[in-house]
Amino acid sequence: MVKSFLIGTRNASPHLHEGIEVLRKGGSIMDAVETAVRGIEESTESGNVGVGGAPTILGDVELDASIMDGATLRTGAVASVSKYVHVISIARKVMEETPHVLLVGDGAHRFARAMGFEEWDLSTERTRMIGEAIAKDIAEDLPDDFRGKDYYVQAIKSQKLHEWYKRLSNEQYGTTNVIGMDSDGNIVVGVSTSGMSWKYPGRVGDSPIIGAGNYCDNRYGGVACTGKGELSIRLLTARMTIKYLEEGMSLEEAITKSFNEIHGLKETGTMQCIAVDKDGNTISASSARESTHWYMDVDMEEPEERPGIWVKAD
């Protein structure tokens, strides 16, 4: 029997103890994952999750999140939320209170309001500075015939913006992932993000797409992704990794196969993930560098950093 535990990405590590405290007080693994993710959403430290997240080309912050229950395969998600910070909790409400799986934009706002969530200003000084920086770059880069046009049209035609998209590193997709497993083997995965920096308004990444950035099934394991969602959406990376576990691969073999599929797309951008298997083994992987994840169980005072793997392109 495993001790109940949480694992998370680097940005989650300062908040794992908040989730562990919930478990110590008798809360469920779903409560623990939600609590840890809420801690990150509310802090301005990450710069890519919750308040102070990365802005779109128009300077707004739009958040995506999802939560999945490996016991029932029930799940909830929200996307393009610009008025509320605790998108992980709205996603949970979508799972628990609606017949749906995913609500977006104004529909998600309306639902959050009905559920009693507090509105939140998601921008910070840093968000505004990043927004101004892209506006300046775009203004310097415009062909003459675009001057005076609507700013959105100018932005999406800007060569500089598109060159910049190609250079994006993981920091510009700095999603947070938290996976929990309790001593009965129940797995929950929570994912929350502001998505890609300087994205088109309305762009949705892998985080709220079940099967792409989030998947779990108590019988096999759980997976959560960070990185360029445009890659994992096309390959259903989280779901396929679980499928490979089901076929009998080890956690490392399954992740390696999924990341080789990412490399096979031969596209710019990187992918990272954290994962657990049904026996409580944990791993993280990156397509671009050394990888680590943070682990904390109910008997620990502090999270420990655990090494993962770097799946290099052939």
Residues assigned a catalytic role: 175
Scanning 6-14, 124-132, 180-188, 192-200 for contacts with ligand GLY by CB under 6 A, the matching segment is 192-200
Pick one of 207, 214, 218, 270: the residue that binds ligand GLY (CB under 6 A).
Answer: 207
Pick the piece of the chain touching ligand GLY (CB under 6 A) from 99-107, 134-142, 152-160, 223-231.
223-231
Name which of 23 and 242 has its Cβ closer to ligand GLY.
Answer: 242
Minimum CB distance to ligand GLY, residue 78 (Å): 13
> Which of 211, 227, 280, 308 is the binder for ligand GLY (CB under 6 A)?
227
Q: Is 175 in the site for ligand GLY (CB under 6 A)?
A: yes
Contact between 173 and ligand GLY by CB under 6 A: the answer reads yes
Segment near ligand GLY (CB under 6 A); pick from 19-27, 77-85, 131-139, 204-212: 204-212
Closer of 172 and 256 to ligand GLY (Cβ)? 172
Could you give the CA distance from residue 55 to residue 295 in angstroms, rounded to a whole number?
30
The verdict on 213 binding ligand GLY (CB under 6 A) reads yes
In DSSP terms, 225 is beta-bridged to: 273
Contacts to ligand GLY by CB under 6 A: 173, 175, 193, 195-196, 205-207, 213, 226-229
